Amino acid sequence: MAPPGILRSEMTEPGASAAIVTGLSSCHGCVKIARAEHLLRRSSTQESPVASAASLGGPSPETAPEGKPKLLHSLKHGSAILALASSPEHDAIYAGTQDGEIITWSLSTFHQLRHVQAHKRSILSLFLSPDGTLLFSSAGDPIINVWCPRTLRHLYEIYGTYDVGDIFSTAYSAQHDTLYLGAQNTSIQWVRLGDPSAVVPADSQKHPDRRNHRFFDSKAVGGVSTPRRNEDRWALIPRANTVWEIDSGSIRNFAHYGYVYCMLMAKGPTVLVDEDDDVLISGSGDGTIKLWALGRGTREGLDEGEPDRGTIEEIMTLGTDDADSVLSLAIDGSFLYSGKLDGIVELWDLDTAQKLRVIKAGEADIMALQMACGFLWTGSTDGHASKFSTVHYGKYQHPTDKIAQKYQCLGHWKAHQGKILASAVVNYHNEQFYITGANDDEISIWEVTGSDTTAPEAAEGGDDPLLSTLVDFVSYKTVSSKPEFAEDCRRGATFLGALFKRLGGDVEMLSTEKGHNPVVYAKFSAKQESAKTRKRILFYGHYDVVAADNETGKWATDPFTVTGINGYIYGRGVSDNKGPIVAALYAVTDLMQAKQLENDIIFLIEGEEEYGSRGFKEAVRQNKDRIGHIDYVLLANSYWLDDEVPCLTYGLRGVLHATVCVDSPRPDTHSGVDGSFMMNEPLSDLTCIISKLKGVGNRVQIRGFYSGIPALTPAEEARYDDIVSILKRGRSDNVSEETLKKSLMARWREPNLTVHSYKVSGPDGSLVSSHANSHISLRLVPGQEVNDVAEELTQFLLQQFATLESQNQLTISIDNKAEPWLGDTSNSIFRTLEQAIIEAWPDSFETDSSEKIASGSKSKASKPRGPLYIREGGSIPAIRFLEKEFKAPAAHLPCGRSSDSAHLSNERMSVVNLLKAREIMAKVFRRL
């Protein structure tokens, strides 16, 4: 027997120029990533019976239409993806990586669920038991681990007493409760999971980590053993509840004459066995595929009552041992597909053992095969995926018997920038997904629902329209601050109005004579039974967005094309504010469909919030009778303090924007020719008076600026203490809680003045500009009246300018103003929101049924008891206006996380947060 990891010469393929050497101390992830490149390629002397797609009446992959399915989402990780599995029951995608990790993502929201260091070497296979209760993984270390698919708890660890090298493939028979594994040393081993005699102590000296290796641990007289590799991350591998050792008799040596690269378990795939019998199918580097009957083993040497450990019996061999390596397998009834080198897929009939067809799927090696929706899907080492029609006779039988229309390449597209090494298919909520993983560290989820015309039920009813609606909504470039996007803003408003109307709303476009973007009004009426008790809730939002300049390259994706990555959707407006608007709309439609809409919901969605809400007040006042009485105002236009704890916003600062101008009676002059102390320069005058606005400690010098601000109460200070305590848990810096608390209060409950810019007339150079202006803003807090502050600001600047005795002229323009807002956290809408948040995010809070939930309070050593009540430093002009105009209390629900990058490049929103926002608003709309 050759040393483990080195194939004997008779195991190599004929005509090979060199032996394949893959030692156990090498990087085992590279074995799978590049194995097609390292496998020996022979010069075939016989003409290959390859039937190209073109010869069958269809296009070849190179000439076929791209046929690219919809890329639903991308998952990025820091290591190559070598194995994939998926489970609709557990709402999970499982990935095995080159670094030996298993990572799970949610199928519904695509956010990462769990992560575990599973093996010391690269994971080479990953699959679920048929009943979905066990997750098996194998790797470059000779160990098989069994996990709980829901929690990734380490249930069992399995190993053999032979040094078999890498374990490339595994398969499980539920009929025999037996696990089978295909290894680098060409053997197939097995173990019955219910065999109590296989259980051994965790510290067994036969464990691969402890037993001596006859090659690497051998030493001459006076020599030493080769030091064993060790890495810190290996200590993170959780201990298994039970350790099983494969019996020395449960092995089929030389099951193939090459690495056993792939295996699968099939139920009655050939007439040679009963239709209910499990059959093991294995593919190898020697070019053969073998079918194995699974049976009872001999009882020789077993005690009475001790279960036999089974056996395997070869019943069929397909191919010859001088053929190209079999890298992947997929089965469809009695039809078996095998993926091979150089883009070859072979089709075998297991009833007759005949090769029916050879399909050319490109030029690169086929590392992944799947059957889904009656089509064959291939993944290759050049990063391309392909879709082929098949002769499928089950649920997805195609409505044609013309063989010329079978095995055509219907699509061939670039799916990854690296080698596709794994794939999976899953039917989730009547949606069919094709999932690919590659060594570019990415997983791509492709939506293939509806690709089969005879399965309409798969395309009906399962697709949640919320995300597809948001994709369409974001595509409108509704940038209100730039005139060149005026038409886009109008189209966006029209789209939104049509959407409201299509979903049952009474819709009208509210506009003014000044030509501002329209306000979209929509009313959804409560069910008739609630006529006497119904409330009228106004949801405010805005469909306009800030500009997104992608020319500088700061955006990783097109800002107006929604892209899903790692559980987040990226695009301008997904968080501010199109995502929350769509979530609120579908919260209403959910209630209408369930006949649970207890209140009238009125949407007022403006189109110029990002540009000062121009025309909004006028449009509301002119149409106040149309809007009618309002009981509560709700908006969702901000973010949590971090990415973990949900919040409720009860306060916003107001804002006053002003432009201060100084003009000279003379034109621009040259500073050298005409400049002198006798001439007052506009920029100097402007700088002088602007500098007087703030004094020591950045205190604003305007008269009475701080006089109306209420003092900090003990209850409010306690709320800040709670917030700071939560924030400190996620920070690694040395900022004290007291410093952080002062910073929050300075930004939330203290006013401030900011000088934003200076501008002058004329070009740069040695000029004395005839005009200079400065844009300033003042952030105001409750207790300050914006009109009073504007008047005092004007008087202060005029007084300071008068002291200069300048011949220049001062002009002050109040550009925009918004009042500060402070909500009443004890009213019904805040109470209802709080309870809805706790129910939607139960894992975020400490629950104690014996105590009444207190707003913002928390257990010092654990989670908060409810959402954090926060104030914000920003301003939303509409909220206080609507509250005063309709005499209705307002509440603010932050939907996004602190890392959402609203107004910045790569704006995003978590799919989880979007769906939770929909759930929360539905509860509020029904309960108020």
Given a contact cutoff of 8 angstroms between Cβ atoms, the answer to whether 434 and 370 are in contact is yes
Cα end-to-end distance, the chain, whole Å: 77
Q: Do domains 72-211+233-447 and 465-652+822-845+864-927 have the same CATH topology?
A: no
Q: Does residue 170 sit in helix, strand or coil? A: strand
Instruction: Say how far apart CA 124 and CA 927 lie, in whole Å.
Output: 51
DSSP element (H, E) containing 470: helix 465-474
Report pLDDT for 44: 35
Q: DSSP labels for 628-690?
A: ---SEEEE---B-SSSSS-EEEEEE-EEEEEEEEEE-SS--EETTTT--TTS--HHHHHHHHH
Sheet holding 112-117, edge to edge: 81-87, 92-97, 101-106, 112-117
Look-up of token digits 């006798």: 678
Given a contact cutoff of 8 angstroms between Cβ atoms, the answer to whether 170 and 180 are in contact is yes
Angle, to 10 degrees, between the axis of helix 465-474 and the axis of helix 911-927? 110
* 764 contacts: CB under 8 Å, gap ≥ 6: none
Report pLDDT for 754: 97
- Which neighbouring-strand residues pair with 117? 101
Given a contact cutoff of 8 angstroms between Cβ atoms, the answer to whether 396 and 372 are in contact is no
Instruction: Say how far apart CA 343 and CA 381 lie, in whole Å.
Output: 9
Architecture of domain 465-652+822-845+864-927: 3-Layer(aba) Sandwich (3.40)
Q: Are strands 600-606 and 536-542 parallel, antiparallel or unpaired?
A: parallel
Mean pLDDT by 10 residues, the chain (928 residues): 31 34 36 36 37 42 70 94 96 96 95 95 95 95 95 96 92 95 95 89 86 64 67 87 92 95 96 93 96 74 60 94 92 94 95 92 96 91 94 52 66 96 93 95 88 38 77 96 94 96 96 88 90 91 92 86 95 96 97 95 96 93 96 96 94 96 91 80 95 96 94 91 85 82 94 95 84 96 95 97 95 93 95 97 77 45 84 92 96 95 94 96 96
Backbone angles phi, psi at 14, to 5 degrees: -55, 140
CA 627 to chain centre: 39
Report pLDDT for 278: 96
Sheet holding 809-818, edge to edge: 752-760, 771-780, 654-663, 809-818
Tens-place pLDDT, residues 730-773 = 666 788 889 999 999 999 999 999 999 999 997 877 888 999 99
577 upstream amide cis, omega within 30 of 0: yes
Say what the alpha-carbon torsion angle 157, 160, 164, 169 is, to the nearest 10 degrees. -50
- Which neighbouring-strand residues pair with 524? 601
Its sign, for the CA torsion 636, 641, 643, 648, is negative
Instruction: Say how far apart CA 599 and CA 535 lie, in whole Å.
Output: 5
Instruction: Give me the half-sphere count of Cα atoms (radius 13 Å) on the Cβ side of residue 736.
Output: 3
pTM of the model: 0.79
Look-up of token digits 């070869």: 314
Its sign, for the CA torsion 793, 797, 799, 800, is positive
Select from 919, 832, 920, 820 the least CA-distant residue to 876: 820
Cβ neighbours of 753 (radius 10 Å): 20
Q: Which CATH number is associated with domain 657-709+751-815?
A: 3.30.70.360
Backbone angles phi, psi at 84, to 5 degrees: -140, 150
Q: Which two tokens stand for residue 36?
A: 């097609």
- What is the length of the chain? 928
Backbone angles phi, psi at 363, to 5 degrees: -110, -15
**Helices of type H across 67-174:** none
Given a contact cutoff of 8 angstroms between Cβ atoms, the answer to whether 316 and 270 are in contact is yes
Q: Identify residue 467 by its one-letter amino acid code.
A: L
- Give the single-character DSSP code of 884: H
Tens-place pLDDT, residues 19-43 = 333 333 334 333 333 343 333 333 3
Q: DSSP labels for 609-628?
A: GGGT-TTHHHHHHHTHHHH-
Architecture of domain 72-211+233-447: 7 Propeller (2.130)
User: Strand runs (DSSP E) across 257-374, as ranges?
Assistant: 260-267, 278-284, 289-295, 311-318, 328-332, 335-339, 344-349, 354-360, 366-372
* 346 contacts: CB under 8 Å, gap ≥ 6: 319, 337, 338, 340, 355, 357, 358, 359
Instruction: Say how far apart CA 823 and CA 648 lie, in whole Å.
Output: 11
Select from 72, 76, 35, 65 the least CA-distant residue to 419: 35
Instruction: Say how far apart CA 280 and CA 268 lie, in whole Å.
Output: 10
How far is the CA of 289 from the CAs of 8, 12, 339, 710, in angstroms? 20, 16, 11, 81
566 upstream amide cis, omega within 30 of 0: no
- Give the single-character DSSP code of 828: H
Instruction: Say how far apart CA 435 and CA 448 lie, in whole Å.
Output: 10
DSSP element (H, E) containing 315: strand 311-318
Its sign, for the CA torsion 141, 144, 149, 150, is negative
Question: Please, is 477 exposed, middle or buried when counting C-beta atoms within 10 Å of its C-beta (0-12, 13-18, 19+)?
Answer: buried
Cβ neighbours of 236 (radius 10 Å): 13
Report pLDDT for 25: 34
Question: Please, is 804 exposed, middle or buried when counting C-beta atoms within 10 Å of its C-beta (0-12, 13-18, 19+)?
Answer: middle
Cβ neighbours of 800 (radius 10 Å): 18
Instruction: Calculate ∠ Cα 24-27-31, nearest 5°.
Output: 85
Tens-place pLDDT, residues 424-454 = 999 998 889 999 999 999 999 999 865 543 3
DSSP element (H, E) containing 738: helix 737-748
Q: Does residue 742 sit in helix, strand or coil? A: helix
CA 735 to chain centre: 31
- Which neighbouring-strand residues pair with 70? 447
Instruction: Say how far apart CA 266 and CA 572 lie, in whole Å.
Output: 48
Q: Which two tokens stand for residue 452?
A: 């089969």
Instruction: Say how far apart CA 851 and CA 645 lie, in whole Å.
Output: 20
Domains of the chain by residue range: 72-211+233-447, 465-652+822-845+864-927, 657-709+751-815
Instruction: Say how far apart CA 119 and CA 137 lie, in whole Å.
Output: 9
